[in-house]
Amino acid sequence: MFGAKVTRLQDGSDGERNGVGSVRRLNVGPLPPFEETVTEFERPSRIVYRITKGSPLRGHVGVMTFAPDGRGGTRFHYDIRLASPIPGLAAIVRASLTRSVDKGLATVEREA
């Protein structure tokens, strides 16, 4: 959804592929790779992850929740919190993520 190359490094320690302890490496364009680790997993409704390696972002937490929408589909809510000690970087990343998420979700909706 973000135009990133994703490599699974480790499945969750709870027996779930995307469960607690699951680690993924993401490569986004020319930027250095970074790793995300799942910290909470509640099938089928919630995934929480943090960037744990290789990023200038600090305090990054992503929370994805999934719920029935009442029409046979799924309501998806994605909350991402981040900060950076580099002035302006968090705002740039936020704008880029917002564009990528909007574009990716439009593609999912169109192809569903």
pLDDT of residue 2: 60
CB atoms within 10 A of CB 49: 23
Answer whether 78's CB lies under 8 Å from 101's CB: yes
DSSP E strand boundaries for the chain: 5-10, 23-27, 34-42, 46-53, 58-68, 74-83
pLDDT of residue 1: 54
Q: Identify the segments of the chain with pLDDT beneath 50.
A: none
pLDDT of residue 97: 81
pLDDT of residue 50: 96
- The H-assigned helical ranges of 1-112 are 89-111
